[in-house]
């Protein structure tokens, strides 16, 4: 985007005074091409005006989540809301929002966030970014079967899943049966399982055999 070209913005919120305030706060360098007071109106404005960024209230009629889910892949959508609830933040990002700002954000921070969103960056009120990153790291670990296991533990898990005894596993890996048993205990703990048959089922279900 050319530095001299105003960033085109759609503002969606059911409070007209707040929309007017945001328009004034953005000032030079930004062009508010459309406004909406509910989710259907926001979606229609996005389709009509093809903005660079959408500033969207979370709790307006129809909900900002619906806008993010519908048009989040098409345009950066930044939630601007009074809520700092963890669930609201994560739901918005999961739906497709590119950012999440609280309405107490300062003018300079708002302008910077909108510019960054237009440039393809994720933008969050300080403190919320760490929350989102932590959650998605947790989800990533959860989605990668056995990610918490060491290489040796994955070896042991695969052999256990094939029905090998601790003695046979020990012989193959050049470790004692007692060491194998200790590995199995740690694996069970890391995967939040309690029995060897559950371990075998887990390995089979996640392609770790």
- CATH code of the domain covering residue 195: 1.10.10.10
Q: How many whole angstroms separate alpha carbon 152 and alpha carbon 83? A: 45
Given this model, what pLDDT does residue 128 score?
Answer: 67
| Residue keyed to tokens 């759609």 | 10
Beta strands in 28-81 (DSSP E): 30-36, 53-56, 77-81
Given this model, what pLDDT does residue 131 score?
Answer: 59
Given this model, what pLDDT does residue 90 score?
Answer: 81
**Are residue 49 and residue 112 in the same domain, yes or no?**
yes
DSSP 77: E
Q: 112, 140, 168 — which closes off a domain?
A: 140
**Are residue 25 and residue 55 in the same domain, yes or no?**
yes
Residue 201 lies in a domain: yes
pTM: 0.63
Given this model, what pLDDT does residue 138 score?
Answer: 55
Q: How many whole angstroms separate alpha carbon 204 and alpha carbon 44? A: 48
**Are residue 71 and residue 103 in the same domain, yes or no?**
yes
Q: Are 186 and 153 in contact (CB under 8 A)?
A: yes
**Are residue 103 and residue 163 in the same domain, yes or no?**
no
CB hemisphere CA count around 72 (13 angstroms): 20
pLDDT tens, per residue, the chain with 209 residues: 555 799 999 999 999 999 999 999 999 999 999 999 999 999 999 999 999 999 999 999 999 999 999 999 899 999 999 988 878 888 888 888 888 999 988 999 999 999 999 998 888 887 666 555 555 545 544 545 556 788 888 888 888 877 788 898 999 999 998 999 899 988 888 887 777 767 777 777 666 65
Torsion of CA 100, 102, 107, 110, to 10 degrees: 0
Residue 129 lies in a domain: yes
Q: Are 140 and 127 in contact (CB under 8 A)?
A: no
CB-count exposure of residue 28 (10 Å: 0-12, 13-18, 19+): exposed
- The domain total for the chain is 2
Q: How many angstroms from the chain centroid is the CA of residue 176?
A: 43
**Are residue 15 and residue 72 in the same domain, yes or no?**
yes
Residue 89: closest CA among 48, 113, 124, 121? 124
- CATH code of the domain covering residue 74: 3.40.50.2300
**Are residue 160 and residue 124 in the same domain, yes or no?**
no
Cα–Cα distances (Å) from 86 to 70, 112, 115, 126, 128, in that order, read 22, 23, 25, 13, 8
> Could you read off the pLDDT of 31-42 as tens digits, one per residue?
999 999 999 999
**Are residue 63 and residue 119 in the same domain, yes or no?**
yes
Q: How many whole angstroms separate alpha carbon 9 and alpha carbon 139? A: 32
> Could you read off the pLDDT of 143-183 as tens digits, one per residue?
455 567 888 888 888 888 777 888 989 999 999 989 998 99
Range of the domain at 185: 151-205
Given this model, what pLDDT does residue 143 score?
Answer: 47
Please state, as a whole number, how many other Cβ atoms lie within 10 Å of the Cβ of residue 138: 10
- CA quadruple 172, 177, 183, 184: dihedral positive or negative? positive
**Are residue 156 and residue 195 in the same domain, yes or no?**
yes
Given this model, what pLDDT does residue 107 score?
Answer: 93
Pull the structure tokens for residue 108.
């300079």
């Amino acid at each position: 985007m050319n530095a001299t070209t105003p960033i085109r913005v759609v503002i969606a919120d059911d409070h007209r005074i707040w929309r007017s305030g945001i328009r004034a706060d953005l000032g030079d360098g930004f062009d508010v091409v459309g406004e909406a007071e509910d989710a259907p109106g926001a979606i229609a404005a996005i389709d009509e005006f093809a903005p660079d960024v959408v500033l969207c209230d979370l709790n307006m009629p129809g909900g900002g989540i619906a806008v993010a889910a519908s048009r989040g892949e098409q345009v950066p959508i930044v939630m601007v809301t009074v809520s700092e609830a963890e669930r609201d933040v994560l739901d918005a990002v999961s739906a497709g929002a590119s950012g999440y700002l609280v309405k107490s954000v300062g003018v300079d921070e708002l302008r910077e966030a909108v510019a960054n969103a237009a440039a393809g960056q994720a933008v969050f009120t300080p403190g919320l970014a760490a929350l989102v990153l932590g959650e998605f790291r947790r989800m990533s670990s959860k989605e990668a079967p056995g990610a918490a296991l060491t290489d040796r533990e994955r070896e042991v898990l695969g052999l256990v899943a094939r029905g090998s005894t601790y003695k046979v596993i020990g012989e193959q890996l050049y470790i004692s049966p007692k060491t194998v048993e200790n590995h199995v205990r740690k694996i069970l703990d890391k995967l939040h399982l309690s029995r060897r048959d559950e371990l075998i089922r887990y390995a089979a279900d996640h392609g770790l055999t």
